Amino acid sequence: MIRGFLFDLDGVIVDTAVFHFQAWRRCAQKLGGDFTEAQNEELKGVSRADSLKKVVEWTKASVNTEEFEALLVEKNEWYLELVQEVSEADGLPGAVTFLEQAHAQGIKIALGSASKNAPMILNKMGLTHLFDAIIDGNNVINGKPHPEVFLKGAAAIGLDPEECLVFEDSIAGVQAAKTGGMSCVGIGTPETLEGADLHFTALGETTPKELVACFNM
């Protein structure tokens, strides 16, 4: 029985995945390289430090520990500049309505985001009150594809993993959900999000009622 929803944030609820991409691209260019859209799929859902390791590897730059730490700070500053104006209007199609409907139906809701900026973004969007628990990059040791963030989310809303449905736009996040024993809705295509149980391009294409009925058949 599905009784709880665990939401990723960037690229599922709000259109911030594009800002992470822009900031990482600026970082890669600073290192004298670049990366492709396909490589960017590998960065989605991945923690700040793990993402920088990949960018350094792709650009073949040589970066010492001090420079690595400085780049982490700089990337976040670029990202923060880009998200300054984020508001409820930046919700992805149907996402805010979907959250409100789930909340009104009494479904337990937790955030399971890799981002240390997640609580700030939720506040900017005025959505914090819809969440029963918030687990983000500040609360985990192991980043996605490790299931820690979703296992902690499920525990925080008092449910077993099998009672939770995860919403994810990243392959790392889909893998985290499935490894954790949860069902998973992919926000994206079956090609990029292999392993998700169902796929939609946005939450507005379905409703909490429809999904709960589908998974609880």
Per-residue HEC secondary structure of the chain comes to: CCCEEEECCECCCECCHHHHHHHHHHHHHHCCCCCCHHHHHHHCCCCHHHHHHHHHHHHCCCCCHHHHHHHHHHHHHHHHHHHCCCCHHHECCCHHHHHHHHHHCCCEEEEECCCCCHHHHHHHHCCHHHCCEEECCCCCCCCCCCCHHHHHHHHHCCCCHHHEEEEECCHHHHHHHHHCCCEEEEECCCCCCCCCCEEECCHHHCCHHHHHHHHCC
Interaction partner, residue 47 (Mg ion, ligand BG6, none; CB < 5-8 Å by kind): ligand BG6
- Pick between residue 136 and residue 169 the one whose CB is nearest to Mg ion: 169
Q: Does residue 103 bind ligand BG6 (CB under 6 A)? A: no
**Going by DSSP bridges, is the β-strand pair 198-200/133-135 parallel, antiparallel, or unpaired?**
unpaired
Which listed residue (59, 117, 175, 183) binds ligand BG6 by CB under 6 A?
A: 117
Considering the complex, what minimum distance in angstroms separates the CB of residue 44 from Mg ion?
5
Which residue lies nearer to Mg ion by CB, 11 or 147? 11
The answer to whether residue 92 forms part of the interface with ligand BG6 (CB under 6 A) is no
Binding ligand BG6 (rule: CB under 6 A), the pick from 2, 4, 5, 10 is: 10
Nearest distance from C-beta of residue 154 to Mg ion, angstroms: 18
Q: Contact between 26 and ligand BG6 (CB under 6 A)?
A: no
- 175 sits near ligand BG6 (criterion: CB under 6 A): no
Using CB under 6 A as the binding rule, whether residue 124 contacts ligand BG6 is answered as no
Catalytic, 15? Answer: no
Of residues 91, 112, 119, 137, which one binds ligand BG6 by CB under 6 A? 137
- Dihedral angle, C-alpha 121, 9, 89, 74, nearest 10 °: 50
136 binds Mg ion (CB under 5 A): no
Identified binder of Mg ion from the candidate list 90, 136, 148, 169, rule CB under 5 A: 169
CB of 205 to ligand BG6, least distance (A): 21
Rounded Cα distance, 61 and 58, in Å:
8
Tell me whether residue 8 is one of the annotated catalytic residues. Answer: yes
Residues marked active site are found at 8, 10
* Binding region for ligand BG6 (CB under 6 A): 9-10, 17, 20, 43-48, 51, 76, 113-117, 137, 170
